[in-house]
Amino acid sequence: MTLEQLHALFLEHPKVSTDTRKIAEKSIFFALKGDNFNGNAFAAEALDKGAAYAVIDESEFHIDERTILVDHVLETLQQLATYHRKHCKAKVISLTGSNGKTTTKELIYAVISKKYRTIATQGNLNNHIGVPLTLLSIQEDTEMAIVEMGANHQGEIAMLSNIAQPDFGYITNFGKAHLEGFGGVEGVIKGKSELYQFLMANNRYIFMNADDPIQRDKLNGYAKKMGFSTEDHQFYNIQLVQANPFVTLKVENVDIETQLIGKYNFSNCCAAILMGKYFNVPLTDVKSALESYQPQNNRSQILTKNGFKIVLDAYNANPTSMRAALENFSGMQETHKTVIIGDMFELGETAAEEHQAIADLVQELGFESAYLVGENFFGTQTPLPKYRTFDDLKAHLSSHPLTKGTLLIKGSRGMALERVLDLL
């Protein structure tokens, strides 16, 4: 079966399933493989549960005309996504970066969808499978598609760019994330910049933070770009009014009061404002979109529970985002501030150094109390209370409960520090 023929089937059955536990009726099931599973073995189950077709790459699992045999299921999924993206009229905005990708994507979606029929990456489906699934969710009447692209090693953003073929692109920042896979900070910059390389090679449009010297250097001399800046008036001027705790911005003499905490969210908001400007979304709509957006999924949420005020930022962490969160929390005008922070993963040989630096920063900032959790923090040289496991922290807090006050909870996803809420 040719790609064109497969796409014709997809247009008749425009839903894709990859998990037999969540089969959509009359969808096309793609039998993906993983380290511990072979999707081919589930093709029959997918069809029994209502899938119209199953795409497989092992002939022994062929059943009847409803099974489509290809050379490689994942590559076919990716190729179909690119074919569909080119078939549709939607403009594609891709974004990547070390920190803030998902929040920025949601803010851009909030702004752009005020004027255009828009789809965006769901959750954090931003990898070699998630990006194709996002592209395949583009419909005939979709005008804009916002595609988040994540990576933990070099070459991945280049691959995702070739799949998504974006018309526009934005990089949030270059931080200390996935250092192990990228090979250090310079590797992060090189890897994330693969989006720039694709856009420039294909004469596509780039949005940029003009106050970021790395971005200015990378894009020096490239004409098809638009940037925001707090200082340089050759770019779109946006000012930070305050971030205590919520970010308030001023643009074209209009104040925008968001429900996002921390100066680190300022540039995320600026990106959405910049794109709103470029795509002629009225500033009143931009203001409405940003002011009504509420963070969720453990990302910079402010909660209250049993007398505690909680800054829950437990979705993920790396040295850059951890430092920003701690410094922002230190500047908040609250009484009795407590930090509970967990290990940062994927730092490779720099793990000990980076965790020590964060432990030193916590001590330097002088919070009323602090708790460090995880193998890496347990290995630091610090007088601060530290616990090898979450269960060790839990045992301590059961006999020494936290007093009322304001908490910052932050750690990598694998630490699942949102569990602290159950201990309050």
Q: Is residue 83 part of a domain?
A: no
The per-residue pLDDT for 275 is 98
d(CA 99, CA 95): 11
Show which of 292, 319, 353 is a domain's final residue: 292
Q: Is residue 191 part of a domain?
A: yes
Q: Do residues 303 and 312 lie in contact, with contact meaning Cβ atoms separated by under 8 Å?
A: yes
Q: Is residue 80 part of a domain?
A: no
d(CA 226, CA 208): 6
The per-residue pLDDT for 292 is 97
The rounded percent of the chain whose pLDDT value lies above 90 is 80
Does residue 44 have a pLDDT over 80? yes
The per-residue pLDDT for 181 is 67
Same structural domain, 236 and 120:
yes
Pairing label, strands 16-17, 28-30: parallel
Q: What is the pLDDT of residues 219-258, one digit of tens each?
A: 999 999 999 999 999 999 999 999 888 899 999 999 999 9
Same structural domain, 305 and 272:
no
d(CA 207, CA 278): 9
The per-residue pLDDT for 231 is 92
Same structural domain, 215 and 330:
no
Q: Is residue 78 part of a domain?
A: no
The per-residue pLDDT for 68 is 97
The per-residue pLDDT for 214 is 93
d(CA 172, CA 384): 33
Does residue 50 have a pLDDT over 90? yes
Q: Do residues 237 and 251 lie in contact, with contact meaning Cβ atoms separated by under 8 Å?
A: yes
Number of domains composing the chain: 3
Where is average pLDDT lowest: 45-54, 132-141, 401-410? 401-410
Same structural domain, 199 and 280:
yes
Q: What is the mean pLDDT of residues 62-91?
A: 97
The rounded percent of the chain whose pLDDT value lies above 70 is 98
Same structural domain, 121 and 266:
yes
- How much is the mean pLDDT over the chain? 93
Phi first, then psi: give them for residue 293, nearest 5 degrees.
-70, 130
Domain limits for position 328: 301-423
The per-residue pLDDT for 301 is 84
The per-residue pLDDT for 240 is 96
Helix axis angle, 194-201 to 156-164, nearest 10°: 40
Q: Is residue 56 part of a domain?
A: yes
54-57's contacts with Cβ under 8 Å and 24+ in sequence apart are 54/28, 54/29, 54/30, 55/6, 55/28, 55/29, 55/30, 55/31, 56/31, 57/31
Does residue 175 have a pLDDT over 80? no
Same structural domain, 279 and 361:
no
Same structural domain, 65 and 106:
no
Q: What is the mean pLDDT of residues 329-344?
A: 92
Same structural domain, 100 and 245:
yes
Does residue 422 have a pLDDT over 70? yes
Q: What is the pLDDT of residues 290-311, one digit of tens each?
A: 999 998 777 778 889 988 999 9
CA 102 to chain centre: 3
Does residue 177 have a pLDDT over 70? no
Same structural domain, 306 and 267:
no
The per-residue pLDDT for 381 is 97
Peptide bond into 245 cis (omega under 30): yes
